[in-house]
């Protein structure tokens, strides 16, 4: 019988790609999403790729009673991957209480319900934002956690602490914390991808929208950093590679293979690319000329960060395999599909 996995935030960007990989690896999936930052039509794309339409429960993870009813309805939820969260850094500065409530109450509810329903494991979406500007690059999982730069970032740090404290106090299942670097791109089929609401805050959706003529000009936030070309450096990872790591983490939990009750892994490529590298590669891969200008630095930006993914490579047996060319091509294919709608 197929094992049933709960995916909160499963109609969102990373969640939807993970649902595809879970289904293709033989899991049964139930998604919980309140559609605050996604659309139910994402299920159509998932179904076109996999031939399976996962169950969707439209409900809010902060509502314990609603979530309890979902666990009761499905009975045999074996484990959960918890993507559901608000993620806009700027908005979190404006609405910190909303962010703390949404991201932390959701987390606490899921942890309690997994315990009550005797599930076997929990996977948490964390972020490289917990490292701030690391002193040593590439950054390893043992690097110091820096004071958070935003309430959003703080919810990831506190979320990790909640998981560790609750585990220490005797949670009857293991957890895996995954620290994502910068997920970009879309499924190669262009059936699913990122759906930014309003003006995108992240680099790649802004790039693709500029290339598509939706935005007139792209701003490069600073060329006076202490990096080879002066622009900031990040570790951009294909969302499908990222999604595959979740399936491996899930298998590890369900097969009781965790070495510790809470394990933490960096999910990145191990390569740092600058903003200007991304723009040049995008132009080369797509043949589109980008209208961009260099402007001042964006407040709160980290100068450079990229992952040391050795532990994920060695322990999980997972490696990001897509090239940045393939990844940017997938982002562009998805944008063209969106623009044609």
The one of ligand NAD, ligand WQD, none whose footprint includes residue 201, by CB under 5 to 8 A per kind, is ligand WQD
| Distances in whole angstroms, Cα of residue 48 to Cα of each of 43, 45, 54, 74, 239 | 9, 5, 12, 24, 18
What minimum distance in Å lies between the beta carbon of 127 and ligand NAD? 4
The answer to whether residue 234 forms part of the interface with ligand NAD (CB under 6 A) is no
Q: Are strands 4-8 and 236-238 parallel, antiparallel or unpaired?
A: unpaired
| Residue 6 phi, psi (nearest 5) | -90, 130
- Of the candidate spans 82-90, 137-145, 205-213, 318-326, the one that interacts with ligand NAD by CB under 6 A turns out to be 82-90
Q: Is 38 in the site for ligand NAD (CB under 6 A)?
A: yes
Instruction: Choose, by CB under 6 A, the member of 6, 13, 110, 177 that binds ligand NAD.
Output: 13
Enumerate long-range contacts of 333-338, CB under 8 Å, 24 or more apart. 333/186, 333/188, 333/190, 334/185, 334/186, 334/187, 334/190, 334/193, 334/194, 334/208, 335/193, 335/205, 335/208, 335/209, 335/211, 335/212, 336/190, 336/212, 337/190, 337/193, 338/193, 338/195
| Maximum separation of any 2 CA atoms in the chain, in Å | 57
Q: Compare residues 7 and 178 and give the one whose CB is closer to ligand WQD.
A: 178
Catalytic residue among 99, 131, 152, 236, which?
152
- Which tokens go with 187? 């499924």
Residue 176 β-bridge partners: 123, 263
| Residues in touch with ligand WQD (CB under 6 A) | 87, 89, 127, 129, 153, 182, 201-203, 206, 218-221, 232, 234, 275, 298, 301
Q: Are 222 and 230 in contact (CB under 8 A)?
A: yes
Which residues, in sequence order, are CB contacts of 25 under 8 Å at separation 6+? 247, 251
Among 62, 119, 150, 167, binds ligand NAD (CB under 6 A): 62
User: What is the token pair recorded at 113?
Assistant: 């319900």
- Least separation in angstroms between CB 10 and ligand WQD: 17
C-alpha–C-alpha distance, residues 132 and 134, integer Å: 6
Judged by beta carbon, residue 17 or residue 234, the one nearer ligand WQD is 234
Establish if 264 lies at the interface with ligand NAD (CB under 6 A): no
Using the minimum distance from each CB to ligand WQD, give the nearer residue, 108 or 294: 294
User: Which of ligand WQD, ligand NAD, none does residue 298 bind to, with CB < 5 to 8 Å depending on kind?
Assistant: ligand WQD
8 A C-beta contact, residue 204 and residue 236: yes
Residue from 6, 7, 15, 329 in contact with ligand NAD (CB under 6 A): 15
* 152 among known catalytic residues: yes
Q: Name the burial class of residue 96, with classes exposed (0-12), middle (13-18) and buried (19+) by CB atoms within 10 angstroms of its CB.
A: middle
Q: Of 127 and 175, which CB lies nearer to ligand WQD in the complex structure?
A: 127
Work out whether 11 is an interface residue with ligand NAD (CB under 6 A): yes
Restricting to residues 178-217, name those near ligand NAD by CB under 6 A.
180, 182-183
Question: Which residue's CB is nearer to ligand WQD, number 49 or number 143?
Answer: 143
The minimum distance between CB 328 and ligand WQD, in angstroms, equals: 13
Angle at 121 between CA 117 and CA 126, to 5 degrees: 120
R_g (Cα) of the chain, nearest Å: 19
Using CB under 6 A, pick the residue from 5, 6, 34, 269 that binds ligand NAD. 34
Q: Which of 81-89, 165-173, 255-263, 327-335 is the region at the interface with ligand NAD (rule: CB under 6 A)?
A: 81-89
> Is the distance from CB of 113 to CB of 67 less than 8 angstroms?
yes
Least distance between ligand WQD and beta carbon 236 (Å): 8
User: Which residues belong to the active site?
Assistant: 152
Binding site for ligand NAD (CB under 6 A): 8-9, 11-15, 32-38, 60-62, 83-87, 102, 106, 125, 127, 180, 182-183
């Amino acid at each position: 019988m197929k094992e049933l996995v709960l995916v909160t935030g499963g109609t969102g960007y990373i969640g939807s790609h993970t649902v595809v990989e879970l289904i293709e690896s033989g899991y049964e999936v139930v998604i919980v999403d309140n559609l605050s930052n996604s659309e139910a039509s994402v299920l159509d794309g998932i179904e076109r790729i996999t031939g399976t339409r996962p169950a969707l429960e439209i409900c809010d993870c902060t509502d314990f009673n609603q979530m309890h009813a979902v666990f009761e309805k499905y009975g045999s939820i074996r484990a959960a991957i918890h993507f559901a969260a608000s993620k806009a850094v700027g908005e979190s500065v404006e609405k910190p209480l909303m962010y703390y409530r949404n991201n932390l109450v959701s987390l606490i509810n899921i942890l309690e319900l997994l315990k009550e329903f005797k599930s076997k494991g929990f996977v948490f979406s964390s972020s490289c934002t917990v490292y701030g500007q690391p002193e040593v690059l590439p950054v390893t999982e043992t690097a110091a956690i820096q004071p958070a730069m935003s309430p959003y970032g703080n919810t990831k740090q506190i979320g990790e602490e909640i998981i560790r404290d609750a585990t220490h106090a005797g949670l009857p299942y293991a957890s895996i914390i995954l620290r994502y670097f910068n997920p970009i791109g879309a499924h190669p089929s262009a059936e699913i991808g990122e759906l930014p609401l309003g003006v995108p805050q992240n680099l790649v959706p802004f790039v693709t929208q500029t290339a598509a003529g939706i935005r007139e000009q792209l701003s490069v936030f600073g060329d006076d950093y202490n990096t080879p070309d002066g622009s900031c450096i990040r570790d951009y990872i294909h969302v499908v590679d990222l999604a595959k790591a979740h399936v491996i983490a899930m298998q590890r939990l369900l097969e009781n293979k965790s070495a510790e009750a809470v394990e933490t892994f960096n999910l990145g490529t191990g390569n740092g690319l600058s903003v200007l590298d991304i723009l040049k590669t995008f132009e080369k891969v797509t043949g589109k000329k980008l209208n961009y200008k260099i402007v001042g630095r964006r407040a709160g930006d980290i100068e450079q960060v990229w992952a040391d993914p050795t532990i994920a490579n060695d322990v999980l047996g997972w490696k990001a395999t897509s090239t940045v060319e393939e990844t940017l091509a997938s982002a562009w294919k998805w944008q063209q599909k969106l623009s044609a709608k």
